[in-house]
Structure 1
């Protein structure tokens, strides 16, 4: 006999886009780097800013800022190859970031593109992310959009070939790099690995406390687990390693965050 608690539910239309994206991204030459970054100073400054201003600064916004600055220093990582084998290097760093918001009573993560993040302050990025979180329904689809999601999967998935076919169009629609923050859904450390359709993606994992040597002494530090994913067809190992080191330096130095005032 069947379990009376079993039920069959319709598959959400918007989730079809996620399925299409993951299938297309799985065909790219992705290389994943799992790194640990000391965020003790950054979190200390964010907490101090909250005490001084009463406003909780977005940690994701800070990471978006550091990512954009690192790409500004290594612009050839902010690039795509087109179908003719040419490399399109973008000056502006447009970051596609997942923000958690309420849609029809449910909490879910939706994409939002922060434009020209390499020319923005942490506060400016923070304000934009907060505005996106408070939007009524940032993924509200037009009638044409709803119909597009009902097309056969093979046709729908053609849109995810935009990075290879028309990199500039991909930038206009989805940004140049991506940040996905799985750490916001739970506590504790750990990495996440995900396929991506971007040349560079930063997957933010959890934060854990670990012992570290600081000034010759062992002390407890807050360690963030990051996964940096590259498309190896565009970025070689050397440039990728230098970019990651620059990103680590910026985060650990709490770049863009004012130090607490005395007293």
Structure 2
């Protein structure tokens, strides 16, 4: 048996998750055919103008949030705040003192960045000491917060959650997690959603599956993606339109993302 002390970063994560549990959520489990998209990206890379699939999917999410602004919103019992700028928050894994830890990377105003710029920003964040700048990135701040009485920390977190502008500054307007680079196991990842935000994404594995295309069975590359919606602010019909546009961008209209 091995027993280790819980890190300050994990403690703060636990405090935060405790305050944003529950909610009224619904989910969409998607199989998106990215066969043509991957062929297109490989050709672009040979031409020296392509980028990663991950960054292109992030750009597609950003474009959908810009077109359907109610999904780039936050809500509480008193106010709904809709943001013009899409700030996309992704977790990144970095090495710290010989251990792998997860920190956040916020891609600000993603719709005004190219796929290549998004790639560079993610790569730089993995090696930068300021990868989670704007969050509790300072070890001193983390130590101070975890040494305070738990009721006081909860009070502070609640105050933050009701300040939508501060939530945007600290954690962006949408959360996207991905396991596609680590797993080839078919299935869906259910993303965590809580607090005031309207939507979150989980990018799962890419697997080859038999699919009916023009009345013929063909082997296609399918991307398992899950979208979680906050039903306090998003209803079924708008969610369906949002998903349809997202699928269209990845399956047919991907040139719009470059």
Query: Which residue of the partner structure matches residue 67 of structure 1?
Result: 61
- Mapped to 2, the partners of 1:46 and 1:134 lie a distance apart of 26
Structure 1 residues 46 and 150, CA, compared in 2 at 3 Å: closer, same or farther?
farther
Query: Which residue of the partner structure matches residue 81 of structure 1?
Result: 75
Query: Which residue of the partner structure matches residue 141 of structure 2?
Result: 144
Structure 1 residues 83 and 7, CA, compared in 2 at 3 Å: closer, same or farther?
same
Query: Which residue of the partner structure matches residue 220 of structure 1?
Result: 219
Q: CA deviation at 1:194?
A: 3.4
Structure 1 residues 256 and 149, CA, compared in 2 at 3 Å: closer, same or farther?
farther
User: Any stretches of 5+ residues in structure 1 without a counterpart?
Assistant: 1-5, 259-263
User: Which of 13, 26, 34 is the equivalent residue of 2:29?
Assistant: 34
Kindly indicate whether the alpha-carbon contact (under 8 Å) linking 1:96 and 1:175 is maintained by their aligned counterparts in 2.
Answer: yes
Kindly indicate whether the alpha-carbon contact (under 8 Å) linking 1:42 and 1:257 is maintained by their aligned counterparts in 2.
Answer: no
Listed one character per residue, the Cα deviations across residues 4-29 of structure 1 (whole Å, up to 9, x for unaligned) are xx232111111112222332332222
Tell me the TM-score normalised to structure 2 length: 0.87
- Determine whether 1:127 maps to 2:124: no
Query: Which residue of the partner structure matches residue 187 of structure 1?
Result: 184
- Mapped to 1, the partners of 2:84 and 2:257 lie a distance apart of 24
- Mapped to 2, the partners of 1:63 and 1:44 lie a distance apart of 15
Kindly indicate whether the alpha-carbon contact (under 8 Å) linking 1:189 and 1:207 is maintained by their aligned counterparts in 2.
Answer: yes
Query: Which residue of the partner structure matches residue 261 of structure 1?
Result: none
Kindly indicate whether the alpha-carbon contact (under 8 Å) linking 2:33 and 2:251 is maintained by their aligned counterparts in 1.
Answer: yes
Listed one character per residue, the Cα deviations across residues 180-235 of structure 1 (whole Å, up to 9, x for unaligned) are 11223222321111332332101111111111122332211111111101111111
RMSD of aligned alpha carbons: 2.3
Kindly indicate whether the alpha-carbon contact (under 8 Å) linking 1:189 and 1:224 is maintained by their aligned counterparts in 2.
Answer: no
SS at match of 2:147: coil
Structure 1 residues 109 and 83, CA, compared in 2 at 3 Å: closer, same or farther?
same
Query: Which residue of the partner structure matches residue 210 of structure 2?
Result: 211
User: Any stretches of 5+ residues in structure 2 without a counterpart?
Assistant: none
Paired residues in the alignment total: 251
Structure 1 residues 158 and 33, CA, compared in 2 at 3 Å: closer, same or farther?
farther
Query: Which residue of the partner structure matches residue 244 of structure 1?
Result: 243
